[in-house]
Amino acid sequence: MSLATGSAAPPPVAPDPAPLAGRIAFVAAATDQAGEALARLEAAYGNAPLDEARIVVALGGDGLMLETQHRMLGRNLPVYGMNCGSVGFLMNEFRLEGLMERLAAAQAAQLHPLHMRAFVGEGPSVEALAINEVSLLRETRQAAKIRILVDGKERLSELICDGVLVSTPAGSTAYNLSAHGPIIPLGANLLPLTPISAFRPRRWRGALLPAEASVVFDVLEPQKRPVAAVADYTEVRDVRRVEVRENRAVTLTMLFDPDHGLSERIIAEQFTV
């Protein structure tokens, strides 16, 4: 995976619809529903090669949005998702008609992924980017024991748990929410650090960290209590140490209908009962 570095990309701007004719690339999940939607949209609008496109329309669920954004790393092509899956939190409603007008009116959300560096034994480290979260998970029946440092300072000498994760604001409504972590609005410049089924300290519910914080997880008793590290869908098993921080040199852009923007969805999710 390319871990793009360099100066941060300029703020995203929703594309002007006029030059978009023939410059839209469609990608679809491997499902019958997404495949049927792809065929209908290709017939109506064509399908540009990715290297010639100015915008990508992703047809599927949140998993396809993450996969598409990973494919776009370093290019910052805007991605407009239409839900042909199940949850679709990061997607817009699917409609065949009026796509050009919807793209012209779309609001852009700028995101920065997390950078994970995982160490396994004495070998080289493994690096990956995560748009949702970086999670550490126990591999066996034994609970994991993990030490947590933030900006070089030990904050927990021993967390006994099924796992622990660091999430982006966009990912705070995914695994982080399932683990009872807080939902973070976009632009809050915070990263939730959330335990997964913590046994000790029993009352520790996690922390909110500044977006620029550097988090280090040291796996204690790694041979007896092996742990895997996962950055979105990149998994590294038997890790000894994992370093996580936000990578602001990489910018991702998602497009949303004005009445259903990502910031609004994140706020609305906090009032869902």
63-91, pLDDT tens digit by residue?
898 889 888 887 878 999 999 977 778 89
The residue-averaged pLDDT of 25-33 equals 94
Q: Are residues 71 and 190 in the same domain?
A: no
In a domain, 5, yes or no: no
Q: Are residues 130 and 82 in the same domain?
A: no
Check the annotation: does 229 bind a ligand.
no
If one counts the domains in the chain, the total is: 2
Output the domain CATH number for residue 129: 2.60.200.30
Q: Are residues 219 and 143 in the same domain?
A: yes
Distance CA 239, CA 93 (A): 40
pTM of the model: 0.80
The residue-averaged pLDDT of 138-144 equals 97
Q: Are residues 26 and 86 in the same domain?
A: yes
Distance CA 129, CA 2 (A): 9
Check the annotation: does 63 bind a ligand.
yes
Output the domain CATH number for residue 108: 3.40.50.10330
Check the annotation: does 114 bind a ligand.
no
Q: Are 157 and 243 contacting, i.e. CB atoms less than 8 angstroms apart?
A: no
Check the annotation: does 83 bind a ligand.
no
Active site residue 16: no
In a domain, 176, yes or no: yes
Q: Are residues 94 and 137 in the same domain?
A: no
Report whether pLDDT(17) > 80.
no
In a domain, 123, yes or no: yes
High-pLDDT (> 90) share of the chain, %: 65
List, for residues 30-57, the tens digit of each pLDDT value: 999 999 999 999 999 999 998 889 999 9
Q: Are residues 178 and 229 in the same domain?
A: yes
Q: Which of 16, 62, 257, 259 is catalytic?
A: 62
Q: Are 77 and 53 contacting, i.e. CB atoms less than 8 angstroms apart?
A: yes
Check the annotation: does 173 bind a ligand.
yes
In a domain, 185, yes or no: yes
Range of the domain at 192: 114-246
Distance CA 225, CA 241 (A): 13
pLDDT number for residue 16: 53
Q: Are residues 102 and 199 in the same domain?
A: no
In a domain, 53, yes or no: yes
Q: Are residues 133 and 230 in the same domain?
A: yes
List, for residues 238-261, the tens digit of each pLDDT value: 999 999 999 999 999 999 998 777
Q: Are residues 151 and 206 in the same domain?
A: yes
Report whether pLDDT(11) > 60.
no
Q: Are residues 48 and 163 in the same domain?
A: no
Q: Are residues 61 and 137 in the same domain?
A: no
Q: Are residues 124 and 189 in the same domain?
A: yes
- Other C-beta atoms within 10 Å of 152: how many? 7
Which range has the worst mean pLDDT, 5-14, 184-193, 226-235?
A: 5-14
In a domain, 9, yes or no: no
Check the annotation: does 132 bind a ligand.
yes
Reported residue count of the chain is: 273
Check the annotation: does 176 bind a ligand.
yes
In a domain, 13, yes or no: no
Check the annotation: does 175 bind a ligand.
yes
In a domain, 160, yes or no: yes
